[in-house]
Amino acid sequence: MEQNSTKNGKINALMEATLNKLSQMVDTETVIGEPMVMSPKLTLIPISKTSFGFASGGSDFSKKDNPHIHFGGGSGAGVTVTPLGFLSIANETEVTYIPLTPGNAASPVEGVIAGLPDMVEKFKDMFAKKKEETPADAE
């Protein structure tokens, strides 16, 4: 009975160590990123999707003729972070979602490329408004 609890303790310790490392890698800032202040009137917040998997196992190699307890175990985890888009906050009141993969883009890179024209237009509009405000400030 004591041997069984020792083996269970080793498996539990193995699983706990893996889960602790996994929780260090994935936190809420992985899904909702740090706000990026692009200008006083525009803030972008990255949005991502996270997926993770976890596996653990162990085995007892003891034999009847060997009094020593043998134990083998392993665990592993994998994490995937996929960027989805940005929350755009303009003028502190206008919130829009800008997807990185509009439609059925084959890859995130294609989605970023497809989303670039919208981003460029937003930046052009932002800088055009800034230029319009500059002469009024000079008076």
CA 62, 63, 64, 67 torsion-angle sign: negative
What are the tokens at 6?
A: 């020792």
Q: Give me the residue spans of the domains in the chain.
A: 2-138
**pLDDT (tens digit, 9 = 90+) per residue, 48-67?**
888 877 777 777 666 666 66
**pLDDT (tens digit, 9 = 90+) per residue, 3-12?**
455 556 677 7
- Reference 80, options 105, 54, 46, 44; nearest CA is 54
Please, which contacts does 65-74 make with residues 24 or more away whose CB atoms are closer than 8 Å? Answer: 69/3, 69/6, 69/7, 71/7, 71/10, 73/10, 73/11, 73/14, 74/14
**pLDDT (tens digit, 9 = 90+) per residue, 17-56?**
877 777 776 666 677 888 989 888 889 888 888 887 777 7
Burial class from Cβ neighbours inside 10 Å (0-12, 13-18, 19+) for residue 109 reads exposed
Residue 20 CB coordination number (10 Å): 9
